[in-house]
Amino acid sequence: MVDVHLLLKNLHVVENDLEKLKNASSQGELIDNIKAFRHNTNELLNQSAKRQQELDPQLRDDLAAARAVLKKHSTILLKASKVYVRHPELAAVKANRDYVLKQVCGAVNTINGVAQGGVTQPSSCPYDGPRELAAALDEFDDHTAMEPLAYNEVHTRPSLEERLESIISGAALMADSSCTRGERRERIDAECNAVRRALQNLLSEYMSNMGNMGRKTRDLRRQLRKAVVDHNCLLLISFHIW
């Protein structure tokens, strides 16, 4: 009973940490919250592992699955939260952060219920994954369709790569769901890698076009400078003749 009490006490601390992560509005605030969340989550995982050994097989499996989800998706949540704090105006980034948050909340709720005897609580983080991810992909497509000359290697590439990785993180979470069939999971993973390659090819093509354009403009500048020299020479000749 003492162990269960300590576990539940730490679980409520983790719930408070999740709320702070969700509401963080600056990188500094987020980093502080991340440190606390990591420490308290590790404590919760260790305490729930001890509790797991005391349960019947079914509850033991439920708790083991919840612990695995919490361990894996906590890392993804930290990454998604960092991206969201940098780009809170992007709907796709928020959707992905919320989706990951739902998975972590669900795992914490399961641990809470199993630790108290097997009664799980519904997740308090509603999120329609497929719909939001579809919208995020549409928005991503809109941002990749640009004029080659509008591409900026310093700003555009990191932004697009960050958007895509955010979407892929959400897709990976859906693939890991128990509702997703094995062959579908493999297909999602393969398509995610294909999209990554396609983006890199597209960005390379943009850079190639910009390189060609840069060479052409340099050639034009060179010819214009020569024309200026010709023009000045002609003026000097005309002056001496006059």
Q: Would the pLDDT of 172 be above 80?
A: no
The alpha helices in 53-121, defined as continuous H runs, are 57-86, 91-115
Distances (CA, A) of 36 to 7, 29, 79, 210, 225: 16, 11, 15, 45, 62
Q: Would the pLDDT of 120 be above 60?
A: no
Q: What pLDDT digit, counting tens, does each position of 33-91 carry?
A: 888 998 999 988 888 888 888 777 778 778 888 888 888 888 888 888 888 888 888 77
Q: How confident is the model at residue 213 (pLDDT cuts 50, 70, 90)?
A: low
Listed by start position, the domains of the chain span 1-118, 128-242
Q: Nearest CA to 196 among 169, 165, 171?
A: 165
Q: Which fold has domain 1-118?
A: Four Helix Bundle (Hemerythrin (Met), subunit A) (1.20.120)
Q: What pLDDT digit, counting tens, does each position of 37-50 carry?
A: 989 999 888 888 88
Q: What pLDDT digit, counting tens, does each position of 126-145 carry?
A: 334 566 677 777 777 877 87
